[in-house]
Amino acid sequence: MRAILRHFKGDSVLWGVVTLLATFSFLPVFSASTNLSYVVGVGTPTGYLLKHLMIVIFGFILMFLVHKIPYAYFKGISILLLPIVFLLLIYTASQGTVIAGANASRWIRIPIIGLSFQTSTLAFVSLMAYVAYYLSKYQNNQQSFLRSLLLLWLPIFVFVGLILPSNFSTAALLFLMAFVLAFLGQHPLRYLGAILLSGLVGLTIFILLAKAFPDAIPNRVDTWISRIENFSSGGDTAGNYQIERAKIAIASGGLFGVGAGKSVMKNFLPQSSSDFIYAIIIEEYGLFGGCLLLFLYLILLFRIVVVTHKTTDSFGKLLAIGMGLPIVFQAFINIAVALQLLPVTGQTLPLISSGGTSAWMTCIALGIILSVSVNLQQPKNTSNPLAALSEVE
């Protein structure tokens, strides 16, 4: 066992928390999958469990491989990925997939292996790595607003703009995390104020154009508005069907829950294994289980901050916080939606909800954080030809 564990470098607490979250995920995913099996009539609980197992195993393989890469190489990797992800986002947006009259162009189908790939998840990882690189490179240099607009904010606005019509919550989260990272990277406050104002103006124009010309660009503006209205009303309306069932599940859990696999509301929650899995967790494991899960995410955040604090290199600091904050923030958003503190967003619970590419991108992001924690005191190997990627200027 020691010989195996020797290959797992980096922050041991971070490895432990991620392993605990991933291991625990099998219980609620297996329980909630009965909704799809017996109510919807798709697949079997065992089949969903095996699928989740394969996703978790492959995710950990990705995390292990990525954490072996010196984090400085992600400077060059992020630059190489930007045009690739840009083309993937354009292809995804151009598919014109429409469900119930709304834009649903979020995935591309990989015919060889028969899987769907959500390109926005790859955009998240690659863009945050690029923002960390740019900020670390120009942190101590006087830069003009035009230069930062072209080299930093233009890629952010392009990526956000391509994701926005089909997935507002992911686009908003991507912009917010890039904005927060720029603030932490000491980007001039006057530039940040102008960018924030520009973003709000751009969003307003998009919404007005979408309402004025609904058939010009498939979008989900009506869905966004209805979700906000349903959240504001707080009543037991048709639009509040999911949140009302989630509240019943939470109320039924009590202090210690009804027991593993004994949830009743999983049969009435359409997204019980993904968006509203936290409500099922509280129903089955009670307030104690829900608070324990929240505590694990807080430990995850704490260890990310520790890694960031220990890193002496500005790129390493920004890379670790840029990869870690979106994971924890997404978890808090998912929990807040289940508790009716936020409108329904469609954000899954990282490392817990069933999924595919989103889980893998989360593992890659965690692998990058672990890479930062591994390579803190390691000297550069200039004889390695890959070292050129870490010296991009």
Q: What is the pLDDT of residues 280-307, one digit of tens each?
A: 999 999 999 999 999 999 999 999 999 9
Task: Say whether pLDDT at 231 is over 80.
Answer: no
Alpha helices per DSSP H over the chain? 2-5, 12-24, 26-32, 34, 45-67, 74-94, 119-137, 145-148, 154-163, 168-184, 189-212, 221-233, 241-253, 277-310, 314-338, 357-374
Q: Which H or E run contains 350?
A: none
Task: Say whether pLDDT at 110 is over 70.
Answer: no
pLDDT for the residue 387: 43
pLDDT for the residue 111: 63
Share of the chain above pLDDT 90, in %: 45
Own/partner pairs for 222-226, CB < 8 Å, 24+ apart?
222/101, 222/102, 223/102, 224/168
Least confident of 72-76, 87-91, 208-212: 208-212
Max mean pLDDT among 12-26, 91-105, 142-156, 215-229 falls in 12-26
The two structure tokens encoding residue 109? 């189908």
pLDDT interval class at 388 (50, 70, 90): very low
Average pLDDT over residues 133-155: 87
CA angle 49, 296, 266 (to 5 degrees): 40
pLDDT for the residue 102: 43
Average pLDDT over residues 243-270: 85
Please give the Cα distance from 112 to 114 (Å, whole number). Answer: 6
Between these two residues, 333 and 141, which has the higher pLDDT value? 333
